[in-house]
Amino acid sequence: MVYRLNQQGNSRLGLAISRKYGNAVARNRLKRQLREVFRKSQLTADIDVLVIPCVSASKMKNPAHDFSEALASIQLQM
């Protein structure tokens, strides 16, 4: 995951999930979960977040929970 401050006035999320992650169902499920976590997050800073999960992330039990924790740590750093 990479993040950077932006000057757009809002936070944006970018997802780059390759076919190595899994089949289309698994990739789309992950995208939906991450978008929902990002939408519900209370980010006060205007940042761009790019998520590029590795293949080992497909074996994680709850990647959305890990993403929400990562967003919380970003919020603390800002």
- Cβ neighbours around 67 below 10 Å, total: 23
Please give the model's pTM, rounded to 2 decimal places.
0.84
3-class DSSP state for residue 51? strand
CATH number for the domain harbouring residue 73: 3.30.230.10
Domain hosting residue 30, numbered range: 2-77
Most confident of 28-32, 62-66, 73-77: 28-32
Strand partners, 24: none
pLDDT in tens, 19-61: 988 899 989 999 999 999 999 988 888 899 999 988 776 677 8
**Domain count along the chain:** 1
Q: What is the mean pLDDT of residues 65-77?
A: 88
Taken in order 23, 27, 29, 30, the sign of the CA dihedral is: positive
Q: Are 16 and 51 in contact (CB under 8 A)?
A: yes
HSE of 63, CA atoms in CB hemisphere, 13 A: 22
